[in-house]
Amino acid sequence: MYMQRMLQNTSWIDENREDYFIGLVLERETPQRAAYDRRQMFTGPDDVRDYLATGQTVNYDDDWYAQIRDGKVAHQQAIKRRIVQQRQDAARVLCDCGHYSAHPMNTSRGTSCPNCYDEMSE
Ligand SMILES: [Zn+2]
């Protein structure tokens, strides 16, 4: 894994002090935290690594942005999201009303996006 840490401006930076930050996570671990995150309680560094490998983030401090993640998994998830978005965009067609829609509707004046349906049906 290559660890990344969130900054207050919400951007993620590479973090090579992996053991240090996992140690911080383990120091503040409580049954309540585990329950709040809906996960098993961390009992050692490997538990934290396994959890991060699922794409989750973990707080190492109380600040909302004090989180770490597995940068490689996060990158793969971002690529997957982009592919899904591209597929959705590719499914949209240009209607006669001038808008793109994944569900073009037939009207008396040609195809229409749902928003223009009433106008195009007159
Ligand atoms: Zn339209």
13 and 68 within one domain: yes
Classify residue 81: in a domain, yes or no.
no
Distance CA 102, CA 2 (A): 39
CB atoms within 10 A of CB 62: 7
Residue 14 has pLDDT above 80, yes or no: yes
Domain that holds residue 101: 92-122
Q: How confident is the model at residue 38 (pLDDT cuts 50, 70, 90)?
A: very high
Distance from the alpha carbon of residue 90 to the mean position of ligand 1, in angstroms: 17
Task: Tell me how far the alpha carbon of residue 120 is from its chain's centroid.
Answer: 38
Q: What per-residue confidence (pLDDT) applies to 54?
A: 95
Is residue 24 located within the same domain as residue 56?
yes
CA of 109 to the centre of ligand 1 (A): 12
Q: What is the pLDDT of residues 52-104, one digit of tens each?
A: 999 999 999 999 999 999 999 999 999 999 999 888 888 899 999 999 998 89
Q: Under the phi-then-psi rule, with left for phi > 0, alpha for psi from -120 to 50, and beta for the rest, what region is 107?
A: beta
Distance 88 CA to ligand 1 centre (A): 17
Both 64 and 36 in a single domain? yes
Q: What is the count of structural domains for the chain?
A: 2
pLDDT of residue 1: 85
Ion ligand 1, residue ranges at CB < 5 A: 97, 99, 113, 116
Together in a domain, 68 and 42: yes
74 half-sphere exposure, CB direction, 13 A CA radius: 18
Considering only CA atoms, give the Rg of the chain. Answer: 23
Taking the whole predicted model, whether its pTM rises above 0.85 is answered as: no
